Amino acid sequence: MTDIFDALANGAELSKAALSSRFDVERDTPDLLDAVASDFPIIRRIVASLRNSLPLVPHARIGAVGGFVRIPNHYRSVACLITSGETQDAAGAIVFKGTEPLLPDFPGYFEWMLGAPFRGSYLPLALHFPLEMKLPPAAMWLEESVIEQEVTSRIQRQYLAQHGRVARLPVPLFVFEMTAEQVDCYRRVVRARLSPAAFSRIAAKVASGLGVEVYYYPRLPVRAADLLVPEVKQAFRPVLSDAALDGTFSDWIELMGDLLVLGYMPYAPWNRSMGGCVDPGNACIDGGFNDLLTIVPFDSIPGEQLFWRGLKQSIGLLADSIVTMCSVANDTGPPSSPEPPAAAVAYVTEGLRDHIRSQPRNTVDPRLLRFFERPSIEDVIRHIRESQRGSGAAQFRWPAPSMTTPAEPETESHSRRPEVVGT
């Protein structure tokens, strides 16, 4: 039987890589594979093919190679569009994230990244990743792939249990691990072109391994920010009608609301340089989200004041995505202010409020409920207390000197250990 990816290449010569897997959807999350296969049966044949070998396109340039396409702005991923033979109207995309170091033109690709701008960053692509994100450029750190897969699979399984279907989010299929020789080849190319200071930020992560993440998404994962590229805007102009925009924005708000009800914050303040799944670089024009690496479980957010801050920032990021698509649709530039217009923030907030209030109250985190209600004076006082910082720098002292017992000599304090140490 002809390999499905060879058939989709339409004559273009693909190379193959046989890599060991750290995650396999059929082995590790068979319930998600069953859920996808119910609407997209060919996924089982795709998974079987990927288990044998990973298809590699001939170059890292944007554009199409048969059924494979690299969307502009997608610097670490290439997608393969597939239509099911059983149901010709059911389309899906298999996204390969992190194959770039395995491509024959990787040295030239990385050379180009050294001068290519990246969104609003003051650094070029090749420096933004190591200096701002502390991640290997043009590659996937193996643990990044594993963590993103674990977070995404967990959310999808919770969503499936609650809604009876998968969410319009990625469904992880595989995480592959590159060989030591492949990692060493990447290291040689990158180390020769980065400054020692820049490479030192990523050296340990490169040494610990590089990976390839493969996931299913129900459509080509075109993001809101991709529409700023003229050829992408032209290709997807139908999504910019008033009716289409209204549908996309409603889907975004509903999906963000569902994530909040499940107990996940799209963005937290400590992920400042990483962005969030609802920002213009990850909110997809079909109403879904991609790149869930920085989603934060509610139980990881201490206190209500920080919780509300993260929720307010998440709302702002989704408002940015809405503003981006509206600006493209109306052929206007982005707002001069870095903050989204108040009307866009209110649009998202009111939509989320309606969605949250439609859920049974006993299924929603109390901090989330209170955010969408009128705050009480007790809420104000509690947030003030949570945000209090002393006038000086905080100091750790053990044991705390009492009013009646003289403090122990300072020279001995560093050698004492508490009996209980937190982990």
Taking only the tens place, the pLDDT of each residue in 131-160 is 998 999 999 999 999 999 999 999 999 999
Higher pLDDT, 120 or 323: 323
For 67, the token pair is 């059924």
Q: Over the Cα atoms of the chain, what is R_g?
A: 24
Q: How many Cα atoms sit within 13 Å of 267 on the Cβ side?
A: 23
Residues contacting 369, CB < 8 A, separation 6+? 356, 361
Over the range 328-343, which residues count as b (16 or more CB within 10 Å of their CB) and which as e?
bbeeeebeeeeebeee
- pLDDT over 60 (residue 250): yes
Angle (CA) 66-67-70 rounded to 5° is 90
Structure confidence at residue 32 as a pLDDT band (50, 70, 90): very high
Average the pLDDT over 198-216 and give the result.
97
**Cα gap 135→106, rounded to integer Å:** 17
- CB of 167 within 8 A of CB of 155? yes
For 99, the token pair is 């194959």
State the pLDDT at residue 1: 54
